[in-house]
Chain A
Amino acid sequence: MAFPSSPRWTGQAGLILALVALGGALSLATPNFLTVPNLINLVRQISINGILAVGVTLVLLTGGVDLSLGSLVALSGVAAAHLAQAPGAVAFPALLGMATGAACGALSGLVVTRGGVAPFVVTLGMMTVARGLALVLSGGRPVSNLNPQFTRLGGGDVAGIPLPVLVLAAVAVIAHVFLRHLRFGRYIYAVGGNEKAARASGVDVHGVKLFAYTLCGALAGLAGVVLAARITTGQPNAGVGYELDAIAAAVIGGASLAGGAGGIGGTVLGALLMGVINNGLDLLNVSSYYQQIVKGLIIVGAVWLDRGKEK
């Protein structure tokens, strides 16, 4: 079974070019962009979307999609927040948050594989169910009074690097190594590239997909934990629309919605590009109406440039 080709640095070159060009333009337009504090803010601001994007990349690679990410962020955040009200609790809330996300992801994965229902539909259902659960668990009100050790996860730093950024870095590195250097990682590409051929070669297609959804859910849970720590509250209506930003980051980074193509490096670059746009437009004090338009145009432009280079 040939390892399906995915454009690596050649494909990424277009994206890197777009990033450099955008960064360059911004640093000329405002002196506040290319400063250490701003760049630190920037990477901190993309951390949560970055973690979600890494997770959804795995699902996209198998040819699926996960629309429930935003709701999982809220649900995990609320769950973790309840435990984080106890003084000193950090590990338990974080683990509970990830477990909540993983459980929902596994459920979605089961219905997709065993039930044969389209991922779009399944995860759309999970999106509303998880949101409802978050509201039920919290009674519609934010869960507050979280202990400072827990909130440090969202607001603290190590040697000047914000903790959420370290979490994203760890997640990205582990995911990258997993996809590129472990056999199971190759199976994920195989299932997305040609499911029938993969099954014929003896790959446990259902198992691979289930794993992808579960891991994606766990990462959504982690993102929810980090967000709850950052805003110091578990909010039932957090994360609305986060799944679209995550998918956008992955797609900009080269992931195909049909499956089989994409990678963690590209995803992180995609998340970075989106972060630069948001940060830059805020620094330039562009009205939020125009921000929407500009964001959409730059995203399409970046992908166009990237795909153009491949041909």
Chain B
Amino acid sequence: MKKSCAALAVALVLASCGSRTAPGGAKQMVIGVSLLNLSSEFIVMLNRAMEDKARQLGVRLIVNDAQRSAERQVQQVESFIAQRVDAIILNPCEVEASSPAVDKALAAGIPIVNVNSETRSTPTAFVGSRDEESARLAMDYIARRLNGRGNVVMMHGFMGQAAQLKRDQGAREVLAKYPGLKLLAEQTAEWDRAKAIALMENWLQSHGAAIHAVFAQNDEMAMGAVLALEQARRKDKVIVAGVDAIADALRAVRDGRLDATVFQDAAGQGAGAVETAVKILKKEPYEKQLYLPFQLVTRENVSQYLK
């Protein structure tokens, strides 16, 4: 029994070291991809765009899911290096903790492209968006709707994550610009819709009619706030804005339940990352830093974004 198990294991390992020759005989480029977390809708869209572009360019992707663990991400990159991939695309978990992955890739002479989030270490290239911008757009929208005066509450993502830090920064820049805007309360709902519902319910108890607007750092939490407000029959008096433009949020904007969200071009980022990696490998000119703009989505323009 043990011998046949061992034989099976060896056979599987050998089989997985597949041929790297593309049709036509030329050696196919292999890019290792380490993603932050495939149970996030945004990252799923990012991945899909990468795979589409890879198929288009005839490049092979090895996609790993770091499941939010920077440690696992570093291990995955080490594994890519050992497999001698041609390039690596990194969707970093954390600014500091994912930096060793970048360092190791560069030390091994393998080009590495960061997508969507930054690391402290500088990669060969970066394709993404400036998260502060997304928060600035949402908060500016709230400020305009409130005519520069009013009380805002802010729902944070996981404390310490790059997206949370940047969006917090962007939001505070706008708050500083408008002295009539007051940050009444802020708390983390950990990017989670259910936690956001409970948080909004509790805030309504503490502050009630004093809340004029809610800025949630992502759409899941914004939807939670909307649900709680609708249940308390206060949604018509409170403005809610989120970030991400997930399908649920776009529908909610169209139906007038959510006031605004911010579209992050997942498709553009994913495709851009693969394109940049291929350009680097083909020694063609590439942009070291490619920033795709965020776009504010409100009822006026939501039809552009709905599929």
Contact = CB atoms under 8 A, between A and B. Distances in A.
B206 A237 contact: no
A135 B39 contact: yes
B205 A142 contact: no
Nearest to B224: A231
Interface string B104-121: 000000000000000000
B41 interface: yes
A140 B227 contact: no
B248 interface: yes
Given A155-B231, A231-B224, A283-B205, A238 B44 contact: no
Range for the number of chain A residues in contact with chain B: 20 to 34
B209 interface: no
A140 B39 contact: yes
B39 A282 contact: no
A288 B185 CA distance: 12
Contacts of A33: 205
Interface in B185-236: 185, 187-188, 193-194, 197-199, 201-203, 205-206, 223-224, 227, 231
Contact of A41 (B41, B185, B201, B227): B201
B206 A45 contact: no
Contacts of B246: 142
A10 to B, nearest CB: 33
B10 interface: no
A123 interface: no
Contact of A233 (B38, B40, B206, B248): B248
Range for the number of chain B residues in contact with chain A: 20 to 34
Contacts of A278: 198
Contacts of A135: 38-39
Interface in A259-302: 278-279, 282-283, 285, 287-289
Given A144-B247, A237-B39, A288-B187, A282 B197 contact: no
A141 interface: yes
A285 B248 contact: no
Given A230-B197, A236-B39, A282 B247 contact: no
B205 A37 contact: yes
Given A231-B194, A233-B193, A285-B187, A140 B205 contact: no
Nearest to A291: B187
A282 B200 CA distance: 10
B91 to A, nearest CB: 14
A278 B187 CA distance: 13
Contacts of A140: 38-41, 44
Given A41-B201, A140-B44, A144-B248, A235 B193 contact: yes
Contacts of B206: 30, 32, 282-283, 285
Contacts of B193: 231, 233, 235
Interface in B245-285: 246-248, 251
A41 B202 CA distance: 8
A12 B187 CA distance: 33
B22 interface: no
Interface string B83-123: 00000000000000000000000000000000000000000
Contacts, number: 74
A231 B192 CA distance: 10
A35 interface: yes
A230 B200 CA distance: 14
A253 to B, nearest CB: 21
B194 A238 contact: yes
A289 B190 CA distance: 12
Contacts of A41: 198, 201-202, 205
A139 interface: yes
Contacts of A155: 227, 231
Contacts of B8: none
Contacts of A230: 194, 197, 227
Contact of A35 (B187, B205, B247): B205
B306 interface: no
B167 to A, nearest CB: 16
Contacts of B247: 141, 144
B159 A288 contact: yes
Given A45-B201, A142-B248, A282-B187, 7 more contacts: A41-B201, A139-B44, A231-B193, A232-B227, A233-B193, A283-B202, A287-B187
Q: Which 7 residue pairs are nearest across A and B when measured between Cβ atoms?
A: A282-B202, A237-B39, A140-B44, A38-B205, A32-B205, A231-B193, A41-B201
29 contacts: A30-B206, A32-B206, A35-B205, A41-B202, A139-B44, A140-B41, A141-B41, A141-B44, A145-B251, A155-B227, A230-B194, A231-B193, A231-B194, A231-B223, A232-B223, A233-B248, A236-B39, A237-B40, A238-B194, A278-B198, A282-B198, A282-B199, A282-B206, A283-B202, A285-B187, A287-B187, A288-B159, A288-B187, A288-B188
Interface of A: 30, 32-33, 35, 37-38, 41, 44-45, 135, 139-142, 144-145, 155, 227, 230-233, 235-238, 278-279, 282-283, 285, 287-289
